[in-house]
A = this chain, B = another copy of it.
Amino acid sequence: MNQYRVLIDANDEKGLVHKVSSIFFNYDLNILSNSEFVDKESNKFFMRSVVEGAVNKKELSDAVATVLPENSSVKVIEPKKKNIIIMATKELHALGDILIRHEAGELEANILAVVSNYNKLESLVEKFDIPYITISHEGLEREEHEQKIIECINAYESVDYIVLAKYMRILTPKFVKAFDEKIMNIHHSFLPAFIGANPYKQAYERGVKIIGATAHFVNNNLDEGPIIAQEVIHINHAYSWKDMQRSGKDVEKVVLSRALKLALEDRIFVYENKTVIF
């Protein structure tokens, strides 16, 4: 008996749950969990089922597709470790949290490598027997530097997600396009407040009483990709912006790890610059 995650993204119409569950029934699959959502405004139907049984994935996927409207998407996925590459710069809290969770067996992931524009985190990463690749940006045009990273990543056979764990350089549209919907970032603010550079300083100047962090997929517009997870903490007047930054780290690492976990468990659908999360 195997488990399969069935992910459906379709235009809504009457009877979809019935039709899809009929297929599961015909293939003698037991439904372990089932989540559906209909966005009335855009008339979209989303479904994530975890089923148990013995079936050929391609065959099941094709069978489900026959009962869906045109232009639907069906994925049948067997739970297994996904391949991820982490990009970082100099800060270790977000990266460190992922490394520890990985070590603890909490993540369905193989970390293929950590890629950084500095070598500062090398000794930490190598403690965990994970390759650390420094690709310095010094003396390089932005595009040249990114091209080197793209080549580095593409040298791996299969990369499911690229996790920006406080990678502090802006990515060009070309880079983003090369890994469409695969790049996940942690932004150190409660988006859309404080877009751009040094959000903690902005937050300090504005005198906010709450700060936060946002994990999102990266698209062409900086800090404007689909939001996956957000979290906040309360602060007060006694926090300097350095204090905010320090406290913010705890939120950042929690949110990024939570978003990564959702992605690894195939719980995220992206549409219209938003996410549906089951």
Contacts and interface: CB of A to CB of B under 8 A. Distances in A.
Nearest to A273: B207
B100 A274 contact: no
Contacts of A277: 236-237
A33 interface: yes
Interface string A184-201: 000000111110000000
B238 A210 contact: no
Interface in A228-278: 228-232, 236-238, 240, 246, 249-250, 254, 272-277
Given A36-B34, A96-B103, A250-B254, A191 B212 contact: no
Interface in A152-204: 190-194
Given A38-B33, A104-B93, A254-B250, A230 B208 contact: yes
A230 B210 contact: yes
A192 B191 contact: no
Contact of A194 (B15, B192, B232, B249): B192
Contacts of A32: 38
Nearest to A194: B192
Given A194-B192, A207-B275, A18 B21 contact: yes
A209 interface: yes
Contact of A208 (B28, B104, B127, B191): B191
A92 interface: yes
A206 interface: yes
Contacts of A194: 192
A64 interface: no
Contacts of A206: 191-192, 227, 273-274
23 contacts: A14-B25, A14-B30, A14-B31, A22-B22, A31-B38, A32-B38, A37-B238, A91-B104, A92-B100, A92-B104, A93-B104, A103-B124, A106-B246, A106-B249, A191-B206, A191-B208, A207-B226, A207-B275, A208-B230, A210-B230, A210-B232, A237-B274, A250-B254
